[in-house]
Amino acid sequence: MTDWLTPEELQALTLSLRVSLWATLASLPLGLLAAYALARWRFPGHSVLNALVHLPLILPPVVTGYLLLLTFGRQGWVGATLWDWFGFTFAFRWTGAALAAAVMAFPLMVRAIRLAIEAVDPKLEQAAATLGASRPVVFLTVTLPLILPGIIAGAILAFAKAMGEFGATITFVANIPGETQTLPTAIYSFLQVPGGDAAAMRLVVLSVAVALAALALSEWLSRRVAARIAGR
């Protein structure tokens, strides 16, 4: 692979994969919780939570990135605390790129999982309760296996979205090669310099290949899981 790609290209690719993978895996538990709460619980603030989850989908990405900067930047009200207490910061680090990607992908992940939860018949969960299963056990033995295809679909969707995230990322953590320069921001950089078209095109092809591979993987996974659940 190193023969095909220049070190810079390889760097952008591996950084993109790392950022997207972390963004997806780290937000998955929170996404599952939010989806469950939105699908099953009725509480004051339900519609506020719903709006909050969907906000990154409807705001301009640059606005989301700027809000992240205000909140998690070194001087931000969360960012300053993290820096003072733990010496940790998201600003201009690859972890910040992962945070931006996670926030932007969150609505898509929650939506897919929520649809799967709403498709689970609560009567099955009632039946499990009469058989002696407490609520957490019902969730682990009935709800979770039945929504697994939805979780996988949500995770793949979030991963794909994270791979393509541009606006919020470049606003929040800039475009630093080796630290925050992902495939899309690298393409953008090449397009800014004269004669960079050929290099940009190589990255475009790489992006398409990664996207297609992710799609194929998700198809294969969800078909396997669906078959296992339907018992064929």
Partner 1 sequence: MTLSLKLQHDFPGFRLDVALDLPPGLTCLFGKSGSGKTTIINAVAGLVRPDRSEIVLDGTPLHDLPPHRRRVGYVFQDARLFPHLTVAQNLAYGARVRRQPPRDLDRIVDLLGIAALLPRRPATLSGGERQRVAIGRALLSDPRLLLMDEPLASLDEARKAEILPHIEALRDRTGLPILYVSHSLAEVARLATTVAVIDAGRVAAVGAASDLLSDPATAPLLGLRDAGAIVTAQVRAQEPDGLTRLDTSAGPIWLPRLEAAIGQDLRVRIAAQDVLLALDRPAGLSALNILPAKVLAVHRGDGPGALVQLDIGGQRLLSRVTQRSARTLCLAPGLAVFAIVKSVSVAQRDVGDVPLTPQG
Q: Which residues bind partner 1 (CB under 8 A)?
A: 121, 123-124, 126-134, 137, 141-142, 145-146, 228-232
d(CA 230, CA 197): 49
- Nearest to partner 1 of 71, 141 (CB atom): 141
What is the nearest approach in angstroms of partner 1 to the Cβ of residue 135? 8
Total H helices, total E strands in the chain: 11, 0
Measured CA distances, 174 to 29, 70, 179 (Å): 28, 14, 10
The phi-psi region of residue 76 (left if phi > 0; otherwise alpha if psi is between -120 and 50; otherwise beta) is: beta
- Nearest to partner 1 of 11, 141 (CB atom): 141
Query: Whose CA is closest to 143, among 24, 26, 23, 33?
Result: 33
What is the nearest approach in angstroms of partner 1 to the Cβ of residue 42? 16
- Nearest to partner 1 of 39, 225 (CB atom): 225
Helix (H) / strand (E) element for 160: namely: helix 144-164
Query: Whose CA is closest to 209, among 3, 61, 5?
Result: 5
- Nearest to partner 1 of 2, 130 (CB atom): 130
- Nearest to partner 1 of 136, 194 (CB atom): 136
Token digits of residue 146: 């039945």
The one-letter amino acid at 219: E
- Nearest to partner 1 of 14, 134 (CB atom): 134
CB 148 within 8 A of CB 218: no
What is the nearest approach in angstroms of partner 1 to the Cβ of residue 124? 6
What is the nearest approach in angstroms of partner 1 to the Cβ of residue 119? 12
What is the nearest approach in angstroms of partner 1 to the Cβ of residue 37? 21
What is the nearest approach in angstroms of partner 1 to the Cβ of residue 24? 24
The one-letter amino acid at 115: L
